[in-house]
Structure 1
Amino acid sequence: MKKLIVRILRMVILVIIVSCTQTSPYSQTEDFDQPLIEQNNEMNSSGNFEALVKLNGIYFKKAAKSGYEEGKGLCLLNIANVNSTEGNYERAHLLLDKAGESLKHSENSFHRAKFYDSYAHYYSHLKQYDKAVIYSDSALYALKKAPDSNLKKKLLPRIYINRGTYFAWKGQLGNSLKNFHKGNVLEKSAYSTCMIAQYHLYTNKLDSAGIYALRAEEMMNRQKTPDIEKLWIYYTIGYYNKEIRHSDEAEKMLKKALEMSVKTRLTYSFQIKDVYKALSELYKMKRDDEKSYYYLSRYLQEDNRLNESRFAAINKTTDSFISEAKKEADQRKNDLWIIGILSFVTLSVSGLYVRKKIQLLKYKKKSLKTETDTLKSRVYEKKLQEVIELAKKNDSSFLMKFKELNPEFIKNLLAINPDLENSELAFCALLKLHFTSKEIAEYTFVQHKSIQQKKYRIRKKLNIEGDQDIYDFFDRVGKNSNE
């Protein structure tokens, strides 16, 4: 009996020793996870990309040195998230997969939540909102199992807010608003309030949008708000004012949003295209065709960049699946027919998805191109009228403005005769605008006979045949694409 008691005591002591030596999955939270994530978020919010990469590089080495694999995974996630918002989707996917090797099966529930939330974030940028919601579900489930901490407190409301966005794009507006409110109750920030305003703008409830937009602005002015969140708030207030046709206030706020977009572009370029589009719509409303055209062009450039990157990532994912299927087929010859069917189904579904997206994009681009061409034409006509008025006033800036409008015309004239003087170029410009000799004489305060002599000299300098109509000649020189 005595021996039995001794054995039991030894076993208890051994269990205690083993349990004391085991490392908790949350042991690195305060020393590694929290400082890394907080500093990373701060740099991301301010657009300090170089410092962000450097920070994660330092922590990655630190994690590698101490054998903290999950720490390495967190560093990879941070860089992946920046690449997602920048539109570098292929690189983001590569980094996420690498991070997943360390985090997907982690015993640390916060790590798993962070991993799944990053994947949801990635798929939302690819506009694959079903997948975004699935990963967001996993993130929420994992995070609820994590012990309370500052990291959990900050991540939980953001998951709800992100889910609000995903559900809105899926058309599940009830779920969307519910998640936005859950996030706002937990966070009570200018940003979380702003996202509810965004929801009401999306559903065209302008009164409610105005209430939440005003609250968000007041909170932003009271609280310390990161630049990226200021960008969202300024954009929302600007867009709201555009919708209620308060154009001056809309312009002021959208310009502030644009400033924030430029400032944070290295870590968060995704929102800038929406700012461009809103500004284009605003200036169209204000009948400023030139500015409307400018911002619409910038929007199209940014949208095309993101779409190209998005489809490249989708195609790469499909190619990766086929590659893995082939490897599996080589290992299991008997399952070749299954792999073939799976590959066919995946290609078919992916193909249908991509074709559908391409068709929508083509329609969208066609519509936007028509609008762009119309604006471009109107801008050209407006500038042309300004140049004509300068010519009529014999204004000294006429030639400079004409060059801006028809750069190829002047370039081609100088290619024929590099010795042409500015006064001669200005005279050619007047002929290009189809002013008659009588009109040119009147506007330049010279006799009609002098104009005829100038025409003769210009013919000689430009080798214009005597039987060729001089106006027809200038019509052919540097023909403008807007004409």
Structure 2
Amino acid sequence: MDGILFLLPEKSGKQKFILAEMTIKTIFTCLVLFMPICLKATDAIEQKIAEADSLLQISLEKTREVDPGGSIKYALEALSVIEKTGYSKGKAIAYFRIGDALYNLGNYKKALEYLTLAETENCSAKDPLVDSEISRVRGRTYGAMGLFDASVKKFKKGLKQIEKIKEPEKKDYLKTLAYENLAHIYKDMEVQDSVYAYLKKSSKLLQRMDEPFVFTSWINLYGSLGKYYSEKNKYDSAVYFFDQSLAMAKKYEFPYTSRTYQFRSELELKKGNLDSALYYSAKALNNVKDTHLDAELPSIYRKMEKIYEKKAINDSAKLYRGKALVAENELTKEHMDALDYAVNTIIEKETNATVVEAKKAIAFIFGGFFILILAAVVVLYTRKRKSKKIIREKEAEAKKLKQKLSGYSDEVIRLGKENDPTFVTKFQAVYPVFFQSLISKHPNLSSSDITLCAMIFLNFSSKDIAHYTYIEHRSVQTKKSRLRKKLGIDAKANLFLYLNSIAEPNDMQISPQTASSA
């Protein structure tokens, strides 16, 4: 084109017409030449999108079959296919599927990370269905970690998005899921009126929908109603709904029944039917082993421990207490990391919202801009100085503690200082005689009590324990006071001396005479 223009510097009307004609012909020729390539590229992208959608559908089916591993596998394959296609919705759904599966596996931190990836896709904010589902699973994850207020907020945010969905059946189905989740959260918050209100809302919607489409919601609803009536001591109604839940699961060959079996076991335990309670707990345990939803193991083991204690079968009670401790320790670090990540995410979102509001205010009050900048600089400088001071103090404390504890087993001490979930397991291995003696003499101790005993036995001071377990010093004193009551010793008794007194010489780290006050 530049060559043509150069040859015709002074254009007459006819020349302009010729130039325009040549330009059109050139453009047309280019289109003819490149059209097949463009169409081929477009077809290839469309094929990849279709393949990704097919994989995501399989991932969804695996979720419905309670196969989280399979759901993750096909979602990851979909992500691999989607790469470089620009298919934002597909990526958001794939990230969501992985996050949902990880939640069901109890890996809450990774679940939140993938849900965040799903949220950052451009389509998520524009698609109310995708956004509502992300909010719902994030709400479930927050609830599982005890962040109930944040959980309720997410569910209600999801409900607002659901209202924007045009298809009535899809809208009603998503509402039933949100209502079911809210009922579960309010149960954990012990707000029974709200539990029943949301279960009733869910039931009303489900009754006007085709059963094969929503049978999983019916299974969960019947189980939740059974739990509600069990806690109200209306046992006949509770049994009716538990039976309905299990019958529906059998009818549609739904593999996940451990939740209902656990509820039924609790009911039988309340009624004093220990053999029946044990039967349903065993059913729940077998189902968890089939579905690999290991996050439920601690509660099942604890229930079985309690049943065997009531049956006075101490060996079995001790066995399941040990299993519960191992399962709890395996989950503790993951839950702590997830909790830290969740809290930081919530704070970050709130901070971002505040920044947006600040920007709006600055548009109206431009004169305050420089004051805000100055204030921010001052705050950052102050925080930096404070952070350096805290770091120096923490380093000094760490050095002092390191010198103080140098005579103990390095590996066990390190795990205790890091608040590692394997601390108790390692402690048990290093001090087996003391550990067995402790739980034999005091079978009523919780996993938290045993961890505290281990730290005291290793001569951690109250200040050390507070520092490494991230609680206040006065909270440690309170926990020690409660521990003395459980151990049945005097309120002023030295816990370190007592714990060393029940250990054999090979297990003792230092003599009681050299112990600091515990």
Q: Which letter maps to 1:246?
A: N
Partner of 2:514: none
Q: Are 1:209 and 2:228 an aligned pair?
A: no
Q: C-alpha displacement at 1:253, in angstroms?
A: 1.8
**CA gap 1:155/1:273 in 2 versus in 1, 3 angstroms:** farther
Rounded Cα–Cα distance in structure 2 between residues aligned with 1:85 and 1:40: 14
Give me the whole-angstrom Cα distance separating, in 1, the residues matched to 2:159 and 2:349.
32
Q: 1:372 deviation in Å? A: 9.3
User: Aligned with 1:145: secondary structure?
Assistant: coil
Where 2:333 maps in the other structure, the secondary structure is helix
Could you tell me which runs of 5 or more consecutive residues in structure 1 were left unpaired when the two chains were aligned. Answer: 1-26, 348-360, 380-474
1:45 Cα offset (Å): 5.3
| Pick aligned residue for 1:98 from 101, 110, 117 | 117
Which residue does 2:161 correspond to in 1?
142
The residue that corresponds to 1:60 in the other structure is 79
How far apart, in 2, do the equivalents of 1:165 and 1:289 lie? 34
Aligned to 1:396: none
SS in 2 for 1:270: helix
Give the match for residue 281 of structure 1.
306
Which residue number in structure 1 is paired with residue 289 of structure 2?
A: 262
Greater shift in the superposed pair: 289-298 or 68-77:
289-298
Equivalent-residue separation in structure 1 for 2:320 and 2:67 (angstroms): 26
Q: CA offset at residue 43 of structure 1?
A: 2.3
> Quick one: percent identity of the two aligned structures?
15
Q: Structure 1 residue aligned with 2:150, among 125, 131, 134?
A: 131
CA distance in 1, matches of 2:378, 2:138: 28
Secondary structure in 1 aligned to 2:167?
coil
Aligned equivalent of 1:232 = 259
Question: Residue 245 of structure 1 corresponds to which residue in structure 2?
Answer: 272
1:109 and 2:128 are equivalent in the alignment: yes
Match of 1:7 in 2: none
Q: Distance in 2 between matches of 1:342 and 1:133?
A: 36
The structural deviation recorded for 1:70 is 1.7
Change (3 A) 1:322 1:339: farther
Q: How big is the shift at 1:378? A: 8.7
- Is the Cα–Cα contact under 8 Å of residues 55 and 77 in structure 2 kept in the other structure? no
CA distance in 2, matches of 1:209, 1:342: 59
Contact 2:152 2:185 in 1 (8 A): yes
CA contact (8 A) 1:85 1:125 kept: no
User: Is the contact made by 1:130 and 1:170 (CA closer than 8 Å) also made in structure 2?
Assistant: no
154 and 35 in structure 1: CA distance in 2 versus 1, 3 angstrom threshold: farther
Aligned to 2:195: 176
Distance 1:340 1:206 in 2: 60
Give the 3-state SS of the residue equivalent to 1:260 in structure 2: helix
Distance of 1:308 and 1:134 partners within structure 2: 26
Give the corresponding residue for 2:180: 161
Which residues of structure 2 form unaligned runs of 5+?
1-45, 207-213, 356-369, 388-418, 429-434, 444-502, 509-518
Amino acid in structure 2 at the alignment position of 1:270: A
Please point out which of 219, 235, 238 is paired with 1:190.
Answer: 219
**What is the match of residue 440 of structure 2?**
376
Q: Normalised by the size of structure 1, how large is the TM-score?
A: 0.58
Do the aligned partners of 2:89 and 2:124 also contact (CA within 8 Å) in 1? no
RMSD: 4.3
Question: Which residue of structure 1 aligns with residue 374 of structure 2?
Answer: 334
Q: 2:140 aligned to 121, 125, 128, which one?
A: 121
The one-character-per-residue Cα deviations of 1:133-155 (angstroms, maximum 9, x if unpaired) are 10000111211221227654543
Matched residue type, 1:222: K
Contact 1:297/1:372 (<8 A) preserved: no
In 2, Cα distance between equivalents of 1:123 and 1:295: 28
1:222 aligns to what? 251
Query: What is the one-letter code of the residue matched to 1:311?
Result: M
- Cα displacement (A) at 1:156: 2.8
- The AA in structure 2 aligned to 1:376 is S
Which of the numbers 276, 301, 304 marks the counterpart of 2:326? Answer: 301
Structure 1 residue 80 and structure 2 residue 144: aligned?
A: no
Q: Residue 140 and residue 194 in structure 1: after superposition, are their counterparts in 2 closer, same or farther (change >3 A)?
A: same
Assess, with a 3 A threshold, how the Cα gap between structure 1 residues 341 and 132 changes in structure 2: closer, same or farther. Answer: farther
Q: C-alpha distance in 1, partners of 2:374/2:93?
A: 40
Aligned equivalents of 2:382, 2:251: Cα separation in 1: 55
Q: Is contact 1:296-1:372 (8 Å) kept?
A: no
CA–CA distance in structure 2, aligned partners of residues 149 and 59 of structure 1: 29
Q: 1:312 to 1:57 in 2, by over 3 A?
A: closer
1:336 and 1:51 map into 2 onto residues whose CA distance is: 49
Offset, 1:69? 0.4
Higher relative contact order (CA 8 A, sep 6+): 1
The SS at the match of 2:272 is: coil
- 1:161 Cα offset (Å): 0.8
Task: Report the TM-score, using the length of structure 2 for normalisation.
Answer: 0.54
| Partner SS, residue 171 of structure 1 | coil
Deviation at 1:209, TM superposition (A): 2.1
Cα distance, 1:53 vs structure 2: 2.2
> Per-residue displacement from partner, 1:445-466 (whole Å, max 9, x unpaired)?
xxxxxxxxxxxxxxxxxxxxxx
Q: Is the 8 A contact 1:34 1:151 kept in 2?
A: no
The reply on whether 1:43 has 2:43 as its aligned counterpart is: no
| Secondary structure at the counterpart of residue 147 of structure 1 | coil
